[in-house]
Amino acid sequence: MTQQTKGRSGAVWALVITSVASFMAALDNLVVTTALPSIRESLGGELEELEWTVNAYTLTFAVLLMFGASLGDRFGRRRLFSVGLSVFTAASAAAALSPGINELIAFRAVQGVGAAIMMPLTLTLLTAAVPPARRGAALGLFGAVTGLAVASGPLIGGSLTEHLSWQWIFWVNVPVGLILLPLARLRLAESYAPDARLDVPGTLLVSGGLFGIVYGLVNANSDGWTDPVVLTSLIAGGVLLGGFIYHGFHAKNPMLPMRLFRNRAFFGINMASLLMFLGMFGSIFLLSQFLQGVLGYSPTEAGLRMLPWTGMPMLVAPIAGVLADRFGGRPVVVTGLALQAVGLGLFAMALAPDASYASQLPGLIVGGVGMALYFAPAASLVMSSVRPGEQGIASGANNALREVGGALGVAVLATVFSSQGGYGTPQSFTDGTVPAIWLGAGVVALAALVALLIPRRVTTPVQEPDQAEARVPVPA
């Protein structure tokens, strides 16, 4: 086997392993939502406990992403990727075997820990394995798989619950994880960040800050924005994040150097990602309920009818990756975000208690194309806006901001929904959903404007001499 063939084979294996792992981690953000009625029937629990089966994963995932990235930089990205994958797989099996609702919540939190270690390292490992000339297409495929997981969570969760049992939304992860573990050991090259150190103060500040803000957001809708615990959580989280920002400017070796945000590409794509997930996650949260609660579809039927949206990334994202290589990432990302906003607007105009599927199709198709165009070059923009030795940091920061955006989107759009409508009647549900979706469309449109800050051509910052070794993966 020639060196070129061996390198191409390694890149393909890296794409397969990291994409499948990323799919599992992203899928578990939404896969539980359509299974909640069956979980309650089986394990019992009040509404707040059922909500925590979703939030326990989101919280640990969001607050530990940065720490997971820094652990990989310090102790080896392939090694920590395997550790995270092992924790995620074991916790999935434990969740499926949970005898009660409290145990399920605990194992969902452990799942989030595994995903937080595994997820930020997928992009770093893939970027190191793929030659620069093919990186755009590879990251486009990676983005398509991740986007498909996010959008198809309700369909997969509903189908498994409806045709097997709710336990299978967790069991399905186990054989996949057991297959990926030896493949990761055999097919991925080990790499480290040079002189990587664990930033314990920074880790505590960002973890505590994100926990406070996300905890406040996910509880604000049920407890009220003026609830003392919610207010204290949000204020304390904001103060801790302020301390993290100060730490990032002044510490010698911070987990996230704030100087990175002086780069227009890094700032633009990260802020656009936060806003994109705010508008998209909040909208998906309400639209999936609208299709079931108002139009009367089963979970599986609702997921199938969203396929023009959820399936579009697989068709468009690889093409979008090639376009980004040729014309630059900015025009593709801006176009994608603009189309996503238009798609949500078309959906908002079509919503009615007796809305036909034909009236929903334009919004689904346009929104799906837009989501695909965004996901394809976004990962490449994040990774190319920083030095190779800082790619683990960049990946963790981008994923954390997206998770926080998603939690914020659900909280804010649900608040708009409850202030304008409710669950009482189909008309009341529609009255609440329409203005919420319009807000989601506006937020994604704002993301498109923010993305204009990204330079037309993004070039990787010049590598400093003491970071040169990050270019070469450590042999297995």
Question: In this predicted model, which residue has the larger pLDDT, 29 or 457?
Answer: 29
Closest residue by Cα to residue 421 from 430, 409, 408: 430
Instruction: Let me know if 453 is exposed, middle or buried by CB neighbors in 10 A (0-12, 13-18, 19+).
Output: middle
Return the structure tokens found at 88. Answer: 């995620």
| SS3 state of residue 106 | helix
CA distances from 293 to 278, 350, 456 (A): 23, 16, 44
Residue 100: φ, ψ to 5°:
-150, 170
240 band by pLDDT with thresholds 50, 70 and 90: very high
Reported as a single tens digit per residue, the pLDDT across 357-376 is 888 888 888 888 888 788 76
The answer to whether residue 152 scores a pLDDT higher than 50 is yes
pLDDT > 70: what percent of the chain?
Answer: 81
Q: How many residues comprise the chain?
A: 476
Reported as a single tens digit per residue, the pLDDT across 52-90 is 777 778 778 877 877 787 788 788 888 899 999 999 999
Give the other-Cβ count within 10 Å of 252's Cβ: 6
| SS3 state of residue 255 | coil
Question: In this predicted model, which residue has the larger pLDDT, 7 or 406?
Answer: 406
| Mean pLDDT along residues 418-445 | 85
Reported as a single tens digit per residue, the pLDDT across 221-230 is 667 778 898 8
Q: Which residues pair with 474 in a beta bridge?
A: 190
Residue 378: φ, ψ to 5°:
-60, -45
Give me the chain's average pLDDT, please: 78
Predicted TM-score of the model (pTM): 0.75
The answer to whether residue 172 scores a pLDDT higher than 80 is yes
| SS3 state of residue 474 | strand
Q: Calculate the CA dihedral of residues 18, 23, 24, 25 and round it to 10 degrees.
A: 80
| Mean pLDDT along residues 417-429 | 78
Residue with tokens 């069991």: 171
Question: In this predicted model, which residue has the larger pLDDT, 18 or 66?
Answer: 18
For residue 213, what are the contacts with CB-CB under 8 A and spacing of at least 6? 233, 234, 237, 238, 241, 404
Where are the strands (E) in 78-183, listed by range?
A: none
| Mean pLDDT along residues 113-128 | 81
Instruction: Give the single-character DSSP code of 262.
Output: G
pLDDT recorded at residue 46: 58
